[in-house]
Chain A
Amino acid sequence: MIHDFHYLKPDSLKTALAMYAEHEDCKVICGGQSLLIVMRQGMVAPEYLLDIKHIHELSYISFDNQKGLRIGATTTHREIEQSPLIQEKYPVLAAMENKLASIQTRNWGTIGGNLAHADPAGDPAPVLIALKASIKVGSIKGERVMPLDEFFVDYFETAMEHGELILEVQVPPPAPKTGVAYQKFNLLDSDMGIVAVAASVTLDRDGKCKDTRVVLGNAGPTPLRMKNIESLLIGKKLNEKLFEEAGKISSTESQPVADIHASEEHRRHLLGVLTRRMLKQACDIAQKG
């Protein structure tokens, strides 16, 4: 059962950061959809719990053609899923959110909470990394921005130091002739993926691959950005054989962990299949875009 804690409820970001800096053994709760489960199992038992759920300064979705998309940390998954702006400019993001856990969890859980929890099987991270997103974190000492793929360090561990909160997710404007696709393999539609693959492809004027990213979910301690696939594909005319090769890289270079749902060998096989399929899908979208 949950251990006792002192409850801190700041009414603004400023007071929140001050409170967070003040207490050493302090955890942050926002939607709490992941945190409360681990607290109930006694794996996390802080002395202080800082509740930032109702800091409305951090709950927003904005977009402009230069800076691109800005999502506040306490924005709920459902708000992202149902935002007409995101459905239009970043459909893969809205589609991913629609398959994240249940409507109830999406109504209360937040994008900041999800990313801070840093579960390698989390859905948003691979998609956002494929979208070249970065993340703004801040503490009482100041703010900093880093690419999202540098934000995740290990299982359930991020690059944030004590006293730092996630403030905002930043996604560059959608580039022309670009397609992004994401799929997770699971038994039930909204389960976390046994494995997942996000892929983006940008084509240049004569149809060659100008830029690409393939990010594997639940295939290692953090979302894995497959740099070798990028060097394999960039500059080339994409075809089925190349997708096949990219799939091989995913299945050999990933570090999936076997569990009761699937063996390591099956996970590697699936990563290969999904990589091939998502690259093809992203490429088709790019050709149309």
Chain B
Amino acid sequence: MEKYLLKLTVNGQEYEVYINPKTLLVEVIRDYLGFTGTKRGCETVSCGACTVTVNGKSVKSCSILAMQVDGMEIVTSEGLEKNGKLSPIQKAFLDHGAFQCGFCTSGMLMSATAFLDELNGRIPKKHEIKEAIEGNLCRCTGYNSIVRAIEAVAQGEYKEERQ
């Protein structure tokens, strides 16, 4: 089976991997590049634990062929912190206890990050926040703490002081 060259940037670092074209993006992220923050919880693109952002948009990395992100910018939960400083949404998750077992947390963080970036300043309604994480299943928290955390960041309670 011939392999293909894939060039992609993950968390600001460029990588080149030779892969069988049937390899999914989540497999490149986890098994080839070792970013195990992104998780997998199902085989039917239902749980959202594998959510990452591709060029700023949240996607389920288990439903995408890795070859399709050639030359694109991927961000996983490990890429949110900048030289030791947590991003606003990470701090909000800590303050609001927006996680328990933590297995869905990486996916939730990336859905939240993509949603907040897309808002760029607009204050969202509550149902919009719930729709932003509708693709992410969580069995522990009952979601409301996560919605409160995202709402707090959207309302500017967390300054971004990491430039």
List 21 A-B pairs, Cβ < 8 Å.
A3-B22, A7-B21, A7-B65, A7-B67, A32-B68, A36-B24, A36-B45, A37-B45, A51-B68, A53-B68, A54-B68, A102-B134, A103-B58, A103-B111, A103-B132, A103-B134, A103-B135, A108-B57, A108-B63, A190-B134, A190-B135
- Chain B contact residue count (CB 8 A cutoff): 30
| A104 in contact with B58 (CB, 8 Å) | yes
Given contacts A5-B21, A108-B63, contact A102 B68 (CB under 8 A): no
Residue of chain A at shortest CB distance from B44: A37
Size band of the interface chain A makes with B: 20 to 34
Give every chain A residue within 8 A of B136 (Cβ-Cβ).
102
Q: How far is the CA of A9 from the CA of B60 in the complex (A)?
A: 21
Q: How far is the CA of A190 from the CA of B57 in the complex (A)?
A: 19
Cβ distance B61 to chain A, nearest Cβ, rounded Å: 9
| B4 in contact with A7 (CB, 8 Å) | yes
Cβ distance A192 to chain B, nearest Cβ, rounded Å: 12
B88 within 8 A of A: no
Given contacts A37-B45, A189-B134, A190-B134, contact A105 B65 (CB under 8 A): no
Residue of chain A at shortest CB distance from B127: A189
B95 within 8 A of A: no
| B45 in contact with A105 (CB, 8 Å) | yes
**Beta-carbon contacts under 8 Å, A1-19 to B:** 2-7, 9
Contact with A along B28-56 (1 / 0, CB 8 A): 00000000000000011100100100100
| B67 in contact with A104 (CB, 8 Å) | no
B1 within 8 A of A: yes
B115 within 8 A of A: yes
Contact with B along A47-64 (1 / 0, CB 8 A): 001010110000000000
| B58 in contact with A107 (CB, 8 Å) | yes
The residue that B135 contacts in the complex, of A37, A49, A101, with Cβ under 8 A, is: A101
**Which B residues lie at the A interface, using CB under 8 A?**
1-2, 4, 20-22, 24, 43-45, 48, 51, 54, 57-60, 63-65, 67-68, 111, 114-115, 131-132, 134-136
Q: How far is the CA of A75 from the CA of B134 in the complex (A)?
A: 22
Cβ distance A42 to chain B, nearest Cβ, rounded Å: 12
Cβ distance B62 to chain A, nearest Cβ, rounded Å: 8
**Which A residues lie at the B interface, using CB under 8 A?**
2-7, 9, 29, 32-33, 36-37, 40, 49, 51, 53-54, 78, 98, 101-105, 107-108, 189-190
The residue that A107 contacts in the complex, of B44, B57, B68, with Cβ under 8 A, is: B57
Give every chain A residue within 8 A of B48 (Cβ-Cβ).
102, 104
Give every chain A residue within 8 A of B114 (Cβ-Cβ).
103, 107
Residue of chain A at shortest CB distance from B50: A104
Most chain A beta-carbon neighbours within 10 Å: one of B2, B54, B60 = B60
Cβ distance B85 to chain A, nearest Cβ, rounded Å: 27
Given contacts A103-B115, A103-B132, A105-B135, contact A32 B63 (CB under 8 A): yes
| B22 in contact with A104 (CB, 8 Å) | no
Cβ distance A154 to chain B, nearest Cβ, rounded Å: 23
| B68 in contact with A104 (CB, 8 Å) | no
| B22 in contact with A5 (CB, 8 Å) | yes
Cβ distance A26 to chain B, nearest Cβ, rounded Å: 13
Known: A32-B68, A102-B48, A105-B135. 13 other contacts (CB 8 A): A5-B22, A32-B63, A33-B63, A37-B44, A37-B45, A53-B68, A54-B68, A102-B60, A103-B111, A103-B131, A104-B111, A105-B63, A107-B58
Give every chain B residue within 8 A of A190 (Cβ-Cβ).
134-135
